[in-house]
Amino acid sequence: MIILYFSIAFILASLVFFFKNQTVNRIMSGLFLLSQIGFNFYSISNIGKYDSIYYKFDALGGLFSIVLSILSLATFYHSYLYFQRHEFSKKQESAYYSALIMLIASMMSANYAENIALLWVSIEATTLFVSLLIFHERTKDALEAAWKYLFISSVGVAIAFMGILFFSMAPGINGLSTLSLNNLIMNAKDINPLWLKIAFLLVLTGFSAKMGIFPLHTVTVDAHTVAPPPISAFISTSLMNVGFLGIFRIFTIIAKTSTLYWAQNVLLIVGIISITMSAIQILRTKHYKRMFAFSSLEHMGIVALGLAAGGIGYYAAILHLVFHSFVKASLFYQIGQVHSIYKSYYFKDTGKYFKFYSLGGLAFLLCFVCITAIPPSGLFISEFLIFKALFIQNRIIVAILALVLLTVILYVFGKNTLHLLYADKPENVDLNNVTINKFETLSQFVLLGLVIYLGISPPIFFTDLINSAISILK
Amino acid sequence: MEVTIFNIFILLAFVIFIVPKKSQYYFSAFIHLGLIGISGFWAINCFYNYSEVSSLPFITFFSNPLNLTIDVLSAFFILVINCTVLTGFIYAKGYLKSYSTNKSKTEFAFHHFNFIWLHISMLLVVMIRDGLAFLFVWELMSLSSFFLVIFENEKQEVIKIGLKYLMQMHIGLVFIIVAFICVYIQTNGDIGFDGLSLYFATNKPFLVFILFFIGFGIKAGFIPLHTWLPHAHPAAPSHVSGVMSGVMIKIGLYGILRVLTYIHQDLFSIGMFILVISLISGILGVTFAIVQHDVKKLLAYHSIENIGIIGIGIGLGVIGIAANIPVLAVLGFAGGILHILNHSLFKSLLFYTSGSIYLQLHTRNIEQMGGMIKKMPKTAIFFLIGSLAICGLPLFNGFISEFLIYSGIFKSLLPGNLFIDITLLFSLSGLAIIGGLAIFCFTKVFSIIFLGTPRSDSATKSTEVKGSMLISFFMIGIIIIFIGILPAFIIYPLSSVVGIFTKDSSILYQSAYNLNNISLVSGIFIGLICTLGLLRNRQQKGKIIKQGPIWGCGYTGINPAKSQYTATSYADNFLLLVDRLVNVKKRFIVFKSEEIFPRKRTFHTDSSDIFEDYLVSLPSKKILYWMEKAAVFQTGQIQHYLLYALVFLIVIFFLSILNWI
Amino acid sequence: MIDIFIILYSMTLIYFALAERVSKYVILLFIQGVLLFCVLFFSLYKIEIFDFIFILLETILVKAIILPWFMNKVRRQNQLKRENDTYIPVFYSIIIVVICLLVSFFLSSKLQDTQIHSKYFTVAFASVIFGIYFIIIHRNIFSHVVGYLIIENGIFLISLALGSKMPMMVNLAVLLDVLMGVLVLGIFVNRIGNTFESVEIGHLTQLKD
Amino acid sequence: MEVLSIFLILLTALLIPGITGMTKAKIAGRKMPSVFQPIKDIIRLFKKGAIYSTSTSFIYKVAPLVYLSSVSVSILFLSVGSKISLISFHGDFLLFAYLLAIGKFFMIISAMDTGSSFEGMGANREALYSMLVEPAFFIIIASLALFTDYTSLNELFSNMHISSNFSYVIGIAASYVLLNTAMTENSRMPVDDPKTHLELTMIHEVMILDNSGFDLAIIHISSWLKFSIYGTLISKFIIVTTLPFYIQAVYFIIIQMILAIVIGFLESFRARNKMEKNPQWIIMLSAIAIVAFLSTLIISQKIILN
């Protein structure tokens, strides 16, 4: 089935790429979305089953695929709006769409990959496609960011590959299923702990570029800055989920061994440094998208802390990722609208957004509330659970430090949000020829509403997915 | 059934965004009334069959059923909330009219929405016992009030203040979270208030209590946790500041009271802690208030003072329980809890009336006012009622609660415990000083705003408010005087609230006799005033009654508007006593010896809050400064980025080799 | 026999540190590719003949021919001649290469494991670390790609050292991915060369705070 | 009979200012005025009309009424000697003190109501000093409460004697504080000199600069009553309650007269404090009160000395 999906994606992407026609783009995108959703339904209803020997529809992958599908819908819609607002050549547009389709397909592949080498291949593929998308606007900054992202990610992914190789050391692993996750988990106890440590360390470092945590978080931030907003939304959400997945898969291998405590310590260090980096860098930034990027760094740091805490922290970390995806995506979609008014992402060029476009202002406020984990945001609940887990694990100093840093981030975020919404109107803002589609804002409300709803009363289906995703760790 | 209707009203709040601008107010009033009706019904129900805790299934929250639990304490707070919100939104009708031109439909809708949500969240806070849900609605309360504070968002100052407010509320929340988690770790039960009893039964409560106290105390505004309060209240529109000061900060006290209900040991140190903080809050609050020129800021500092008085009552009550002095426990708690109600009444009245003045003058600086009593006599009378009540003077409700606390102190002076006697002595003197300073302050405010001659043009042109605003004044005024003159009626419901903390609440009934005497004396007092007035009328009949200028010591060229006493000069002699504390700065140019024809000069005084300066502003500024200095990692150099990874790998590797992690 | 190739491979690393001409890098990459092919040839004789031939062909094609050729093309297009402005003088670089080798030697002795061919591992690990180092000291994005390739070669060697036998499909995918990665990187190098009229890293520091 | 004690208090209230005036005149070597001179002045005032300043409002008219009423109602809490007062309940002294305070509140705002440059000065001084003196009064009451175990004004003072001889020690301290509280509350020496001619240094007198006729009269009456109230409180320490009432009444009158003379002496021989020294002086009263409280603790042996 998954092969069919890939073939469809590939054919559609190629058609888009070669036709260079807007109508074709739209039709193919629509078809792709259909197949995406269809495949997603299929995969969800077949959780626990293998699809070819390399893929398995597991709960976590399923969860992320749902998030991915929802965000794909939104991203295609916002991409459509993005192309309405900006002038691009047909070639660029079709390149954009085909890369987007391939990106989504490769993320799906990463979500369901059962073989960690294949997981690695998928992640490397996402890097390639996403760097093309980052480069989409063809500016110098875009070129720089795309280069940095591509290069550092590639180096990182290469390092991660080295880590993956170490797993193949496990005794009794042979034949085609060499790097099958299931196999590795079963044999994990027999692997030399030192191997496990090195492997985990290398994979963590390598995939940190994808997940956007310390130490290779820097390029992800740059990528956010220049990518078109719908793509930034993707980089910050689904792609980070994929990076997380990469680390999480390795983590599941370790979870059953005596190395677990060590790995959690490393994650703790990574998490707290990520939050620190985010808190100090966000103070300096003058660019909305960079601010959001640092906020993503912070949230990924929190997720790492969640993994490090263990127990309820696992659950909370995944919950956090899902919520973060929706909120951050709507923030980026929203900033796209803001850009259409002010033609700039810099703080200094903005102000009085609430007056100009109240509905957008409300959406932005709600985004702000949600992303900073203030109730009614679901992120509040997940963060609460993570801190609870940290306290239970006696990681009190780290927890308190993180709380302090989060407060700083909240301050900066709040200051700049209020600046955008209420600061004095900047000069040379022309509002007459700005038309904003109300449905655009509505789509953000839908995403945010989803976060609030899932936070307050998560459906059983949803909690079951998360629970079965982390059941492997217990 | 009621819960369903309650939920429907909550959901209706979202409809406000699509209601046309004209009917927004009525729609929100409808929701408020619905909420008040249902929750009031619950509360009164609870009072009628008290000692019974009713639990209603509310919603499913995070896969767990969530109940609304209403005991007498919750019921009391529900009534206080409803009362203030009711007057608040009645007042808002007139107050918001002045904004209708420069605010859009969405902004109004957002404002009403937040006002409704402030109401809902306050109600929920006092009804929810589950920890996570409690934190949730607690922060919702802060959030909605934050949006209400920044209503006048075209002013950059307001935005800054709002942000500060949000930050401090968030820090408070963090403390509460940490406290709950600490409890959870020890007991491994539920996170929530119900888990506390388990914890406090086996562990020393002091440290966890401190955490709770800081968390709730930031909301309540105890010094030194108060620094948001004097800024946020003035920045908010008056109906909001009325509600915020009237009830929202009391919700902080609710938290403290709720936690106290679970603590049964180590109470003495906790009581002392509350008492000391409250005494400091009371005395310093009113001290800071005296030097303010911004009427709403002044009132905000008075809120701190009154929180201090409430805290003194509660602290004495706790000490009473700990030292086994039932009378102190009962009267302390009774006084403190009654003062919660009283303060919510007179403080909202004061904020509403000062809001009316603000609408007329567009300034909150009392130095620009004067003579308003002739332009706005009704507002003046209600402000006077509020002032007398806040000073704790007889005939008004403030006296009753202070009376209860005082009499608790005096009655418990009897047993021979040196430490407690000295404690009582200090609380007594503290209360006396607070009362005296409050009188000092409110004679100043009332005189400068309403009496004398107008000090600015706009003050001469102002007119009396009408309609809904007056209705709310009357409502509050009547309750204030009712409680002040017939306090015995309040004793019975009060005793059931006090009964939560101490079993001997029947002691309170004995005070009913004293309170009846107060009613009697009040009656005589009023009668005497009236008689004297009639006497004077008779005496003056046929005599020459003249109008003339004031006595200027023989100097007739006096300009009354310029030469009258100002707020600064009124406060000056007090200022000399406390100048270190309030950081008064006088800015002026000294005359030089060669300056034969002096230039035109100006004179400025301003004061700041030393707690704010040294506890909040300075450290946060330093932290942000150093953090920004440290932000050097996003260099733009690709090699550096790779270097981080290399360093990280090496460091972790060596740490592992050395077995440090 | 393998030992000789391994030693030769480690010599190429030292030459990388020593080389100043960019064209040398391409030649060295080619040499590394060939050496890897040889190592593979002598170590993987146990597996099926078809797989064996396939893997050999794949390696020689990608590692020794396509990549150096492509890199050379990129080099020519950007008219790169000399790389003489590293952050750290060559002298120290050589010392660091030696240190890299020593550290990885130490590491592999620490990792005493029957599964591992410590000879490969020492050099492979040194190669990876040196690759990262190579990137860090150079100011030229072309050299960065070279550094990336050094890392990739090192990893390839590690995969041999670990004696792992990848599933063939996966193996193919891995190599293709690397190839694609380098191709895209190369395209970007050309782009940057055209846009900034230089491939110096100094131009690429606009995105910062 | 309770009414009789009220009558006595009112009677002595009328006499105190006259006697004080006589004493001061004697000491100054002037011809003594009649004891009834102040009363005559008041009667004259009652016959007059009034002049109201244009800048005043109804507050100005209400304030003297409230002032007199508050003082008069406070008298209801008092009694002479062993008599029970008309109104007595636990904590009545609080109502007593706060009733006086409400009167003062109104006097202060009425002074501010004129918008005069002088009256504000008096008003804020009055407000500050009476605020500073309030703790002293409460602490003294607290000492007595601690000593006697009672909490109503009447019982507090009446039961002083029964306890022990130590009561005199506390009585003396309390009398001192009460006397000086009375001086402060009434704005007499050393806080204020009522006979000064310079408005800038006045306190009470400057507040009523613009009052005239009936209002001025009742303000004067109120201050007399206040003196009498404090005198009554002090007299309670001294009168032996076991004696028959008529003797107590005589005692009472004598004590009030002595008090008036003492005030006259104090006013003649004391110099007025510098204005900025006043707060310190008043706080000293609180300090003395605290000492009284502590000594009560020790004397009554209620602390367990181990």
Count CB neighbours of D116 within 10 A.
Answer: 32
The answer to the question of residue A164 being in a domain is no
- Decide if A418 is inside a domain: yes
Interior angle at CA B263, CA B260 and CA B267, nearest 5? 90
DSSP-assigned states of every residue in B583-601: T-EEE-PPPPTT-SSPPP-
Q: Cα(B627)–Cα(C99) distance, rounded to whole angstroms? A: 36
The C-alpha atoms of residue D256 and residue D79 are separated, in whole angstroms, by: 13
> What are φ and ψ of residue D53, in 5° steps?
-70, 150
Which of B158, B633, B647, B654 is most worth mutating to test chain A (most A CB atoms within 10 A of its CB)?
Answer: B633
**Cβ neighbours of B589 (radius 10 Å):** 11
Is the CB of residue B224 less than 8 Å from the CB of residue B66? no
Q: Is B305 helix (H, G, I), strand (E, B) or coil?
A: helix
Q: Quick check: D69 and B558 CB within 8 A? A: no
pLDDT at residue C164, as a whole number = 54
Tell me: pLDDT of C96 over 90: no
What residues of C are in contact with residue A179 (Cβ under 8 Å)? Answer: 166-167, 170
Picking from C154, C21, C33, C27, the residue whose alpha carbon sits closest to that of residue C90 is C21
Whether B637 and C136 lie within 8 Å, measured CB to CB: no
Tokens linked to A250 = 């390795």
Please provide residue B163's backbone torsions phi and psi, each rounded to the nearest 5 degrees: -65, -45
List, for residues B570-629, the tens digit of each pLDDT value: 888 888 888 788 877 888 888 888 878 877 888 887 778 888 888 888 999 999 999 989
Question: Would an 8 Å CB–CB cutoff place D108 in contact with chain B?
Answer: yes
Contact B476, B342 (CB under 8 A): no
CB nearest B639 (choices: C136, C206, C209): C136
Does residue C99 sit at the B interface (CB-CB below 8 Å)? Answer: no
H, E, C per residue of B93-128: HHHHHCCCCCCCHHHHHHHHHHHHHHHHHHHHHHHE
What region does A304 belong to: left with phi over 0, alpha with psi -120 to 50, or beta? alpha
Q: Give the tokens for residue B108.
A: 């109004």
Q: Taking the model in full, what pTM does it have? A: 0.92
Using the beta-carbon criterion (under 8 Å), do B181 and A388 form an inter-chain contact? yes
In a mutational test of the C interface, the residue from A54, A120, A139, A143 whose CB has the highest number of chain C CBs within 10 Å is: A143
Taking the C-alpha atoms of residue C96 and residue A180, their distance in angstroms, rounded to an integer, is: 38
CA distance B482 to D159: 35
Q: Is B165 helix (H, G, I), strand (E, B) or coil?
A: helix
Cβ atoms of residues C28 and C12 within 8 Å = yes
Mean pLDDT of B141-157: 91
Place of tokens 């770790």: B185
Residue of C nearest to A140 (CA): C195
CB contact under 8 A, A154 and C167: no
Q: Report the alpha-carbon distance of residue B306 to residue B229 in Å, rounded.
A: 13
For range D216-230, the mean pLDDT: 90
Secondary structure of residue A250 in the 3-state scheme: helix
ipTM: 0.90
To 5 degrees, how large is the angle CA D31–CA D35–CA D41?
A: 95
Amino acid at A396: I
The helix, strand and coil proportions of chain A, stated in percent and rounded to the nearest 5, come to 80, 0, 20
C-alpha of C184 from chain center? 17
Q: Does C174 touch chain A (CB under 8 A)?
A: yes
Place of tokens 């949500």: B117
Q: What is the mean pLDDT of residues B218-232?
A: 90
> Which of A372, A366, A399 has its CA nearest to residue A385?
A399
On whether any CB of chain C is under 8 Å from the CB of B630, the answer is: no
Whether A180 is covered by a domain: the verdict is: no
Percentage of the residues of chain B whose pLDDT score is greater than 90: 47
Domain range for A353: 259-474
What are the Cα distances from residue B223, in Å, to B385, B431, B534? 27, 16, 48
Dist. CA A264–CA C37, nearest whole Å:
40
Q: What three-state secondary structure class fits A113?
A: strand
Decide if B638 and C207 are in contact by the 8 Å CB cutoff: no
- Of A156, A362, A388, which is closest to B106 when you measure between CB atoms? A362
Instruction: Supply the DSSP string of C58-78, one letter for each residue.
Output: HHIIIIIIIHHHHHHHHHHHT
- Quote the CA–CA distance of D178 and D78 in Å, as a whole number: 15
**B398 contacts B389 by C-beta, under 8 angstroms:** yes
Q: Contacts of residue B170 in chain A, CB cutoff 8 Å?
A: 374, 407, 410
Distances (CA, A) of A354 to A449, B106, B154: 20, 9, 11
Residue C151: Cβ within 10 Å count:
24
How far is residue B271 from each of residues B160, B323, B422, B494, D257, measured CA to CA in Å?
Answer: 36, 10, 14, 21, 48
CA distance A450 to A463: 14
Name beta bridge partners: A321: none
A97 in any annotated domain: no
CA distance D286 to D279: 11
pLDDT at B52 over 70: no
Confidence of residue B319 (pLDDT cuts 50, 70, 90): very high
Please tell me the distance from the alpha carbon of residue C108 to that of residue C114, in angstroms, as a whole number.
Answer: 11
Does a structural domain hold residue A407? yes
Residue B228 has pLDDT above 60, yes or no: yes
Q: Which of C108, C141, C142, C209 to mutate to test the interface with B (most CBs of B within 10 A)?
A: C209
Structure-token pair, residue D44:
């004259």
Residue contact A169–C132, C-beta within 8 A: no
**In sequence order, what are the beta bridge partners of D156?**
none
A345 burial via Cβ count (<10 Å: 0-12, 13-18, 19+): buried
Helix axes A378-392, B156-187, angle to 10 degrees: 40
Nearest-neighbour CA in chain B from C63: distance (Å): 24
Pick C20 or B75 by higher pLDDT. B75
The residue among B226, B141, B165, B220 whose CA lies nearest residue A411 is: B165
Tell me the two tokens of residue A82. Answer: 């993005």
Chain D nearest C-alpha distance from B444 (Å)? 8
Q: What are phi and psi of B55, to 5 degrees?
A: -125, 125
Q: Each residue of D257-283: pLDDT tens digit?
A: 998 998 888 888 888 888 878 888 888
Pairing status of strand B64-70 against strand B545-548: unpaired
Rounded Cα–Cα distance for residues A104 and A112 (Å): 13
User: How many domains are there within chain A?
Assistant: 1
Q: Is A380 helix (H, G, I), strand (E, B) or coil?
A: helix
Amino acid identity of residue C94, one-letter, is I
Using the beta-carbon criterion (under 8 Å), do D109 and B447 form an inter-chain contact?
A: yes
What pLDDT score does D303 carry?
46
Residues B332-379 have pLDDT tens digits of 999 999 999 999 999 999 999 999 999 888 888 888 888 889 889 999
Smallest Cα distance from A117 to chain C, Å: 7
Q: How far apart are CA C150 and CA C147, in angstroms?
A: 5
B548, closest residue in chain D (CA to CA): D53
Amino acid at C87: Y
pLDDT of residue A405: 93
Q: Distance between terminal CA atoms of chain B?
A: 57
Which residues touch B555 (CB under 8 Å, ≥6 apart)? Answer: none
H or E element at residue A56: strand A55-56
Chains D and C touch (3+ CB pairs under 8 A): no
End-to-end CA distance of chain C: 53
Q: Which two tokens stand for residue A43?
A: 């995969």
Say how far apart CA A202 and CA C175 lie, in whole Å.
Answer: 20
- Closest among A453, A374, A450 to B145, alpha carbons compared: A374
The pLDDT score that the predictor gives to residue C170 is 66
Range 193-252 of D in CB contact (< 8 A) with B: 199, 209-210, 213-215, 218
Domain boundaries, chain C: 2-203
Region of B553 on the Ramachandran plot (φ > 0 left; ψ -120 to 50 alpha; else beta):
left
Rounded distance between C-alpha atoms, residue B100 and residue B89, angstroms: 16
With the CA atoms of A50, A51, A56 and A59 taken in that order, what torsion angle do they form, in degrees rounded to the nearest 10? -90
pLDDT at residue D305, rounded to an integer:
46
Q: Is the dihedral of CA A66, A69, A71, A77 positive or negative?
A: negative
* Separation in Å, CA of B597 to nearest CA in chain C: 55
Q: What is the pLDDT of residues D114-167, one digit of tens each?
A: 888 788 888 888 888 888 888 888 888 888 888 777 888 877 777 766 556 666
CA pair distance A211, A238, nearest whole angstrom? 9
**What does each of the 474 residues of chain A score in pLDDT, given as a tens digit?**
888 999 999 999 999 888 888 888 889 999 999 999 999 999 989 888 888 878 889 899 999 999 999 999 999 999 998 888 888 888 889 999 999 999 999 999 999 998 888 888 899 899 989 998 999 988 888 888 999 999 999 889 888 888 888 777 655 555 444 678 887 888 777 777 887 888 899 999 999 999 999 889 998 998 988 899 999 998 899 999 999 999 999 898 888 888 889 999 999 999 999 999 999 999 989 999 999 999 999 999 999 999 999 888 999 999 999 999 999 999 999 998 888 888 889 998 888 888 888 888 999 999 999 999 998 899 999 999 999 999 988 889 999 999 999 999 999 999 999 999 988 877 777 766 667 777 888 889 999 999 999 988 888 889 999 999 888 887
- Assess whether pLDDT exceeds 70 at residue D286: yes
End-to-end CA distance of chain D: 48
DSSP string, A145-193: HHHHHHHHHHHHHHHHHHHHHHHTTSTT--GGGTTBHHHHHHHGGGS-H
